[in-house]
A and B are shown apart, each in its own frame.
Chain A
Amino acid sequence: MSGSTPPLAPIRPARHARFLDDGQLADLRSATLELLDEVGVHCPSRQVRALYADHGAMVDEAREVVRLPPDLVTRAMAQAPRGYVMGARDPDFDLVLDGTALHVATDGCGIEVLDPVVGRRSSNAADVGTAARLADALPAVGFYWPMLSARDHPRTAPLHELLASYANTVKHVQTETLMGAAPARSAVEMARVIAGDDVTLRTRPPLSALVCTIAPLAQDADGMEGALVLAEAGIPVGFMSMATAGTTGPATVPGTVAAGDAEIVAALTLVQLVHPGAPVFHSLMTGMMDPHTGAYLATPWEGEIAYVVGVELAHAWGVPTLAGVFGTDARTPGWQAAAEAGVALTLSAMAGAETGSGMGLLESCMLFTPEQLVLDADLHERVRCTLAAFDTSREALALDVVKAVGPNGHFLYERHTRDEIRRRRFSPLTGRTAADGSPIEPVEVARAEAARILAEHRPEPLDDAQGRELARIVAAADREAETVQAAVGR
């Protein structure tokens, strides 16, 4: 293991479980096929519509709507790989998506930071790097989503976010803000610099991308055009629907799931038609509208089940998933953020989700505080320990020790106790007391731990030449964006 980054600790459940039965999954898949065949999706990119048409889709140019015959969809989806590798700058941190482990990413893309000095403020590229360095030190974080928006670079924020991420973590980076063909080409160039060569870029891509669809049943032109550039280079691309029950989806969870799944599958089908076998993933993060405020709610009581349905639907289509885990509507670190997050994470892990994202932001993915990432990592560790295989070995059963101690004795002085109690896992955040014996709130302990990590943790730096090359690519993109802006301005 090079550098000081601790090894990853993904959740490897000893038992997987299915929460929907085959009939229900078949019903949901048929619903998607029916919607794609009869209703279609709005596709505002002429280039993308032409590609759909070339491969047999029914395109209504006037309405910019693409409809997909069921056999075209199933044929295309059959080309998608069920698993692949998401590479990292340091190969020890490569993620193998083979269904045995759930790798969880940070949340993104927040727009504000709770700064210990100046209080609440707008986020910038340096914050993306700081959060990446914190994430690098936490074994629970499997890969990094740029947690914040590089708002100091409004035109090329996604590329500055990638630059800050690669400079501050050796882990895999997944962008969730990259849109458009030109930025995608720059991102591919950056990933190639990290990978070192084209073969590595394809076999161990250090970058992946998540592209959002638009509910209901619509695509974003820049999103789709960028996705095709990435897919051509072998960069894993996923599509996420955030259809919301009551506004951009029907007011029932299954209806919203069906509409959201149709958006995702329409996009995945295009990628497979144009670049058969390209690594892709499916991500369904439906929400629910608050009927009184119209707000998007990520974590109502009924919301958890939709996430696990998304996981099982992805697998029914034969592709890996990015599951919705963590993510809280809470405004401060505390009871709510803790109580809301565990069930979706456990459900997703048990359902066999390969990846998930959502650690560390508050206020429905808007606000970053370092301690929330440390707190979420603790919850991740609880789920990891709880779903691990139960040990019934002779050593664990300890019958000889029990026989030696006998009724009414105690185990304190047994060698087995001394050896084994150290292996039991306790939260470093709880049970802490101050010098006067008063309890210290775990949130305070987490805040101190985040500060300690940020003061001490130095991940293996980028190779100088790589760093310069990445900076050059981003600077070129900045200049190009300025030129475009100037031209538009005229």
Chain B
Amino acid sequence: MASSRDTRTATAVSTAGPASSETPPLEPIRSRRRVRFLDDDQLDRLQDGTLRILEEVGVRFPSDTALDILGDHGAMVDRDSQIVRFPRDLVRRALSVAPRTFTMAARDPRFDLQLEDGVSYFTTDGCGVATIDWDTRQQRASRKSDIAEMARIVDYLPSIGFMWPTVSAQDRGRTSQLHEIDAAYNNTVKHFQAMVMGAEPARRAIEMATVLAGSGEALRARPMLSDLICSIAPLAQDHEGLEAALVFAEAGIPVGFLAMPTLGTTAPATSAGALVVGDAEVISGIVLLQLAYPGAPVFHSIMKAWADPRNGNYVGYSLDNRARYAPVEMAHHWGLPSMAACFGTDSPTAGTWQAGVEVALDPFLGGLAGPELVTGLGLDRTYTLLYPEAIILDDDVYQRALHALLAEDVSDEALALDVIANVGPGGHFLAERHTRIHMRTSLKRGLTHELAPEGGYRDPVEVARERVAWIRENHRPEPLDPHKAAELTRILSAADRDLGGAG
């Protein structure tokens, strides 16, 4: 594993329990082909729409701290309504100091994510509220132990670059977000992206991340935590979200703003209209952070949804999947890293036709558009319900996209013209040495092509369930240093006491 110190820790722990297992290297989507779906003129029009909304309509900032910062830097602040309007040159000036790339570090440095052009790291989905129980298969409220289970699966899957709290630690009350960090840090060596709200919880989260990093400086250099802040559509920020964002930005923790405009209710019923509303929310948050802490690592994310006019239901999937790529291109047009919104089917059940068809294109379109970060494998029922096998099914779709976007090899060895000439018209390749060498590696067996004992292939959903069971049984990620684990427990106890958690 990573460092000699970590290795010693693993050895020490292994005397008390089963030996830890190797975390397989990450396999992000590295697309050889980038496709621009929107042209410059369209992106300029969208950007101009955002700037006009920011200038003429404004965004509500329910935080005195935020209003002070924005007012000091020349934004037009209405203290009564808490609505802030932004001159466009202020927006541009603020965004000009936002970094285009940065590092999202991991407990094991080999799993640090160095954001770069052409590489897309995917995460688990978040943040569900219910779980199909791992053992009883009965639906129940989600809890901290579910995050621990998911973290071990995350640790095992090369498709998952970093982790979101897949479900909420509802058994831990007001400090649930801190318990989610604890569950992840103890069960995966990968980067964790939290959804912490409020200034004080943010300080405690930083304290936890500092334990992993060793010091505040080390954490700033290699942040092992990032945080995602949701805005409130339309055109409003959340008080607790803003307070947390400012605390994190000060400590160098990457902060993403996520807008979730819903066509027809919290946003106009046109895609472009919904995207500019979402963009205005995200950009206003990022402007605040750049004015307060110039150069703070930030990222941009818009997750579009619909109010289904037939029944009023909130749905993540219409027939139009352009929301997989359009927000990515908008973020990049601003010069910001993007977190694309993928996965999270509306299907109430895992492994159904709907669960397959809705997400089938997501990682492929995401890969073509080139976002740095992408959500989120593993949830059903519009990202509210965790089925243990869902992440494995989504992973299969991910692998299909990854292979479709790989560079095609047309080397002499791959073209095999000599072999073809040797076999000649009407022959066969079974007995060729070239076949024996390449056949072993050419077919990678996905869920769909697991052999059945009676012949043919097994039901892929059944295979996915077995694979989850296997991972739970066999994968033991490198444990956290026991001293660090104890320190996290101490911080959590204090937080439970001080903040009223149910830990």
By a beta-carbon cutoff of 8 Å, the part of chain A in contact with chain B is 14-15, 17-20, 24, 27-28, 31, 34-35, 38-42, 65, 214, 216-218, 245-255, 258-259, 288-293, 297, 299-302, 304-305, 308-309, 329-331, 333-344, 346-347, 350, 375, 378-379, 381-383, 385-386, 388, 390-393, 395-399, 401-403, 405-412, 414, 416-417, 419-427, 429-431, 433, 439, 441-443
| Residues A248 and B356 in contact in the complex (CB < 8 Å), given A31-B417, A254-B409 | no
Question: Which of B112-120, B178-186, B201-209, B436-444 forms contacts with chain A?
Answer: B436-444
In the assembled complex, the Cα of A214 lies from the Cα of B59 at a distance in Å of 66
In the assembled complex, the Cα of A329 lies from the Cα of B311 at a distance in Å of 35
In the assembled complex, the Cα of A293 lies from the Cα of B453 at a distance in Å of 11
What are 27 contact pairs spanning A and B, CB under 8 A?
A28-B410, A28-B415, A218-B426, A246-B442, A250-B416, A251-B429, A251-B435, A255-B414, A300-B446, A301-B446, A329-B449, A335-B352, A335-B353, A335-B393, A338-B357, A342-B364, A382-B319, A390-B37, A390-B272, A397-B46, A399-B273, A407-B60, A420-B270, A424-B320, A425-B319, A426-B315, A431-B346
Asked whether B49 lies within 8 Å of A399 as measured between CB atoms, the reply is yes
Chain A proximity mask over B332-357: 1 for CB below 8 Å, otherwise 0: 00000000000000111101111111
Chain B residue at minimum C-beta to C-beta distance from A214? B426
Asked whether A293 lies within 8 Å of B451 as measured between CB atoms, the reply is yes
In the assembled complex, the Cα of A396 lies from the Cα of B476 at a distance in Å of 51
In the assembled complex, the Cα of A431 lies from the Cα of B319 at a distance in Å of 12
Q: Hey, which chain B residues are within 8 Å of A249, CB to CB? A: 420, 429
Among candidates B81, B306, B355, B444, residue contacting A335 with C-beta atoms closer than 8 Å: B355
In the assembled complex, the Cα of A410 lies from the Cα of B267 at a distance in Å of 7
Q: Hey, which chain B residues are within 8 Å of A417, CB to CB? A: 264, 268-269
Asked whether B410 lies within 8 Å of A27 as measured between CB atoms, the reply is yes
Asked whether A39 lies within 8 Å of B404 as measured between CB atoms, the reply is no
B310 interface hit (Cβ, 8 Å): yes
Asked whether A407 lies within 8 Å of B352 as measured between CB atoms, the reply is no
Q: Hey, which chain A residues are within 8 Å of B455, CB to CB? A: 293
Asked whether A383 lies within 8 Å of B361 as measured between CB atoms, the reply is yes
Question: Taking the nearest CB of chain B, how far is it from the CB of A427, in angstroms?
Answer: 6
In the assembled complex, the Cα of A249 lies from the Cα of B423 at a distance in Å of 9
Interface residues of B in 421-460 (CB under 8 A from A): 421, 423-430, 432, 434-440, 442-449, 451, 455-457, 460
In the assembled complex, the Cα of A253 lies from the Cα of B270 at a distance in Å of 43
Chain A residue at minimum C-beta to C-beta distance from B42? A392
Give the interface centre of A292, A397, A421 by most chain B CB atoms within 10 Å.
Answer: A397
In the assembled complex, the Cα of A251 lies from the Cα of B409 at a distance in Å of 13
In the assembled complex, the Cα of A259 lies from the Cα of B421 at a distance in Å of 10
Instruction: Contacts A252-B416, A254-B408, A305-B408 known; list 10 others, CB within 8 Å.
Output: A14-B37, A24-B408, A27-B415, A217-B420, A250-B429, A250-B434, A397-B45, A397-B270, A406-B234, A407-B60
Chain B residue at minimum C-beta to C-beta distance from A375? B353
| Residues A343 and B443 in contact in the complex (CB < 8 Å), given A35-B420, A250-B432, A411-B265 | no
In the assembled complex, the Cα of A305 lies from the Cα of B405 at a distance in Å of 8
Q: Hey, which chain A residues are within 8 Å of B427, CB to CB? A: 216
B406 interface hit (Cβ, 8 Å): yes
Asked whether A426 lies within 8 Å of B319 as measured between CB atoms, the reply is yes
Asked whether A247 lies within 8 Å of B432 as measured between CB atoms, the reply is no
In the assembled complex, the Cα of A300 lies from the Cα of B52 at a distance in Å of 48
Chain A proximity mask over B24-53: 1 for CB below 8 Å, otherwise 0: 000000000101111001100110010011
Asked whether B414 lies within 8 Å of A254 as measured between CB atoms, the reply is yes
Chain A proximity mask over B45-78: 1 for CB below 8 Å, otherwise 0: 1100100110011111000000000000000000
Q: Hey, which chain B residues are within 8 Å of A251, CB to CB? A: 429, 432, 434-439, 442
Asked whether A39 lies within 8 Å of B306 as measured between CB atoms, the reply is no
Question: Taking the nearest CB of chain B, how far is it from the CB of A331, in angstroms?
Answer: 7
Question: Which of B124-132, B154-162, B219-227, B395-403 forms contacts with chain A?
Answer: B395-403
B322 interface hit (Cβ, 8 Å): yes
Asked whether B419 lies within 8 Å of A390 as measured between CB atoms, the reply is no
Asked whether A408 lies within 8 Å of B234 as measured between CB atoms, the reply is yes
In the assembled complex, the Cα of A379 lies from the Cα of B236 at a distance in Å of 36
Chain B residue at minimum C-beta to C-beta distance from A403? B57
Give the interface centre of A18, A333, A335, A426 by most chain B CB atoms within 10 Å.
Answer: A335
Among candidates A305, A340, A346, residue contacting B448 with C-beta atoms closer than 8 Å: A340
Asked whether A255 lies within 8 Å of B57 as measured between CB atoms, the reply is no
| Residues A330 and B448 in contact in the complex (CB < 8 Å), given A343-B364, A424-B306, A431-B311 | yes
Asked whether B417 lies within 8 Å of A300 as measured between CB atoms, the reply is no
| Residues A301 and B400 in contact in the complex (CB < 8 Å), given A216-B420, A248-B428 | yes
Among candidates A38, A247, A408, A442, residue contacting B428 with C-beta atoms closer than 8 Å: A247
Among candidates B307, B347, B356, residue contacting A337 with C-beta atoms closer than 8 Å: B356
In the assembled complex, the Cα of A350 lies from the Cα of B349 at a distance in Å of 31
Chain B residue at minimum C-beta to C-beta distance from A439? B348
Asked whether B434 lies within 8 Å of A424 as measured between CB atoms, the reply is no
| Residues A392 and B37 in contact in the complex (CB < 8 Å), given A335-B353, A339-B356, A407-B58 | no
Q: Hey, which chain B residues are within 8 Å of A338, CB to CB? A: 353-357, 360
Asked whether B413 lies within 8 Å of A252 as measured between CB atoms, the reply is yes
In the assembled complex, the Cα of A299 lies from the Cα of B444 at a distance in Å of 11
In the assembled complex, the Cα of A120 lies from the Cα of B438 at a distance in Å of 38
Question: Taking the nearest CB of chain A, how far is it from the CB of B363, in angstroms?
Answer: 9
In the assembled complex, the Cα of A203 lies from the Cα of B277 at a distance in Å of 51
Q: Hey, which chain B residues are within 8 Å of A427, CB to CB? A: 317-319
Among candidates B277, B361, B436, residue contacting A402 with C-beta atoms closer than 8 Å: B277
Question: Taking the nearest CB of chain A, how far is it from the CB of B263, in angstroms?
Answer: 6
Give the interface centre of A42, A402, A416 by most chain B CB atoms within 10 Å.
Answer: A402
Among candidates A254, A335, A425, residue contacting B410 with C-beta atoms closer than 8 Å: A254
Among candidates A14, A214, A329, A430, residue contacting B457 with C-beta atoms closer than 8 Å: A329
Q: Hey, which chain B residues are within 8 Å of A412, CB to CB? A: 264-265, 307
Q: Which 5 A-B pairs have the closest CB atoms?
A: A338-B356, A398-B273, A255-B416, A342-B360, A42-B425
Q: Hey, which chain A residues are within 8 Å of B232, CB to CB? A: 408
Asked whether B425 lies within 8 Å of A246 as measured between CB atoms, the reply is no
In the assembled complex, the Cα of A308 lies from the Cα of B46 at a distance in Å of 32
B326 interface hit (Cβ, 8 Å): yes
Among candidates B35, B268, B357, B401, residue contacting A411 with C-beta atoms closer than 8 Å: B268
Asked whether B408 lies within 8 Å of A411 as measured between CB atoms, the reply is no
Asked whether A426 lies within 8 Å of B318 as measured between CB atoms, the reply is yes
| Residues A402 and B57 in contact in the complex (CB < 8 Å), given A218-B425, A410-B234 | yes
Q: Hey, which chain A residues are within 8 Å of B348, CB to CB? A: 439
Question: Taking the nearest CB of chain A, how far is it from the CB of B191, in angstroms?
Answer: 26
Q: Hey, which chain B residues are within 8 Å of A336, CB to CB? A: 356, 447-448, 460
Chain B residue at minimum C-beta to C-beta distance from A306? B408
Q: Hey, which chain B residues are within 8 Å of A416, CB to CB? A: 268-270, 273
Q: Hey, which chain A residues are within 8 Å of B311, CB to CB? A: 431, 433
Q: Hey, which chain A residues are within 8 Å of B326, CB to CB? A: 390
Asked whether A442 lies within 8 Å of B36 as measured between CB atoms, the reply is no
Chain A proximity mask over B297-313: 1 for CB below 8 Å, otherwise 0: 00000000011111101
B235 interface hit (Cβ, 8 Å): yes
Asked whether B346 lies within 8 Å of A430 as measured between CB atoms, the reply is yes
Question: Taking the nearest CB of chain A, how far is it from the CB of B366, in angstroms?
Answer: 12
In the assembled complex, the Cα of A399 lies from the Cα of B264 at a distance in Å of 14
Question: Taking the nearest CB of chain B, how far is it from the CB of A357, in angstroms?
Answer: 19
Question: Taking the nearest CB of chain A, how far is it from the CB of B259, in angstroms?
Answer: 13
B151 interface hit (Cβ, 8 Å): no
| Residues A402 and B460 in contact in the complex (CB < 8 Å), given A34-B417, A255-B415, A425-B318 | no
Question: Taking the nearest CB of chain A, how far is it from the CB of B37, in angstroms?
Answer: 5
Among candidates A214, A245, A334, A340, residue contacting B352 with C-beta atoms closer than 8 Å: A334
Give the interface centre of B354, B401, B445, B460 by most chain A CB atoms within 10 Å.
Answer: B354
Q: Hey, which chain B residues are within 8 Å of A430, CB to CB? A: 317, 346-347, 354, 358
In the assembled complex, the Cα of A488 lies from the Cα of B318 at a distance in Å of 59
Question: Taking the nearest CB of chain B, how far is it from the CB of A268, in angstroms?
Answer: 17
Asked whether B439 lies within 8 Å of A396 as measured between CB atoms, the reply is no
In the assembled complex, the Cα of A205 lies from the Cα of B449 at a distance in Å of 41
In the assembled complex, the Cα of A35 lies from the Cα of B418 at a distance in Å of 9
In the assembled complex, the Cα of A411 lies from the Cα of B401 at a distance in Å of 36
B168 interface hit (Cβ, 8 Å): no
Interface residues of B in 232-268 (CB under 8 A from A): 232, 234-236, 263-268
